[in-house]
Amino acid sequence: MGKEALQTLTSESIKDRDQFISYDNSETFQMKVDYASKKCLGLGLKWWVEFEDPTDIARGLEDNSTETNSTDEGPPTCSSIDAALYAEFVEDGTDQCTDVKSVYTTECCYSYPIHPCGLCQQGNDTLTLLWGNTVDYDGKNLTCGVIDNMLNAESNDSPLCMSEKDLYFDSCCFDKCSLCGEKQLAWDFVVDTEAEMTCGQIEAQFTANEIFTTSKECKETKEDFHDICCYIMPTDPCQLCDEYDKSPRSSQERGGTAKYH
């Protein structure tokens, strides 16, 4: 993915040293759709779908790609079939590729919805998703992150989207405390030199410890750290070299002529 896309996606995350918690909003999701379209992928993969009675094609692919693994990996999924095609170097347009697609494309692929369903979406707001929380889903234990991925294949106004959100919203989503709210967070600013605690790590703890906006801990933490961790970006920030100003200006307008010795 390009640098601009990577920078924007990275800004949609909570970072703590070598770990981060990311999430999608409408902008970042559309970036992924656009990226897939540019790569001629076009369709999304329902990687979570399992096949209790796989065809010989799927069995053959998985047997070849896991022949050194003697453990029972369970029924094949769309993800494992797709991975087996890659591991076996199956090229597009070959008979084997065409056969697999003819059997599994309908079950495994979907067109990206214009407005995808998000488990934690509330109108124009998106609450924090508790990715690792486990819930009962049709008799199986699935994480909230998996359920959210599954719902991304549905439109946000579809009956399935609304019914699943009614069932799992309270267990999977919460109104996370935000240290800075609408202001910018100084991620790397150290607030405790002995513990090497940064403003970014404080924000990350709100997610890890499920600190709600209305909690006492949220209020007290914001009272202690808001003023030193949060700032407002100027509308027209001063830039020493006018990096984004492409209009030609004379050296006099820039403050004189530089001299080199």
pLDDT, tens only, 45-95 = 888 888 887 676 666 666 665 544 444 567 888 888 888 888 888 898 899
Stretch 220-226: mean pLDDT, rounded?
A: 95
36's tokens: 């897939």
pTM over 0.85: no
Give the tens place of pLDDT for each residue, 16-36: 555 555 555 666 666 665 555
Contacts of 31 (CB under 8 A, 6+ apart): 5, 8, 9
Which pLDDT does position 92 carry in this prediction?
87
At 31 the three-state DSSP class reads: helix
Q: Are 90 and 11 in contact (CB under 8 A)?
A: no
Which pLDDT does position 26 carry in this prediction?
60
At 207 the three-state DSSP class reads: helix
Q: Indicate if the pLDDT at residue 218 is higher than 80.
A: yes
More confident residue, 212 or 73: 212
Burial of 115 (0-12, 13-18, 19+ CB in 10 A): middle
Give the tens place of pLDDT for each residue, 175-191: 999 999 989 999 999 99
Quote the DSSP letter at residue 73.
-
Q: Indicate if the pLDDT at residue 146 is higher than 70.
A: yes
Q: How far is CA 77 from CA 49, 51, 61, 80, in A?
A: 5, 6, 12, 5
Q: Are 111 and 82 in contact (CB under 8 A)?
A: no
Stretch 192-204: mean pLDDT, rounded?
A: 88
Q: Indicate if the pLDDT at residue 214 is higher than 90.
A: yes
Which pLDDT does position 250 carry in this prediction?
47
Which pLDDT does position 189 carry in this prediction?
93
